[in-house]
Amino acid sequence: MYMLSGWVDLEFEDGQKLRIQSGESLYIPGGLRHNETAASRDLELLEISVPADMGTVALRSARGLAKSA
């Protein structure tokens, strides 16, 4: 993920919270569950996913998620 403009807040299944801002990049390993909790109105980002079909599911919160066996 590369932030073109704005910012986005992410929460990960381990409870970590992170804000990514314009000009920053982030690598999220496959299988690491996370959720977008807030974003600026001017958010623009470039996201590259391999494989492209990653099974995105909208959630209210990433807290308490357990990896499936």
**Helix, strand or coil for residue 17?**
strand
pLDDT beyond 50 at 23: yes
pTM greater than the 0.85 cutoff: no
Q: Where are the domains of the chain?
A: 2-46
What type of residue is 15? Answer: G
Tokens of 9: 């807040």
> How much is the average pLDDT of 49-68?
62
Bridge partners for 21 per DSSP: 7
Q: What is the pLDDT of residue 49?
A: 81
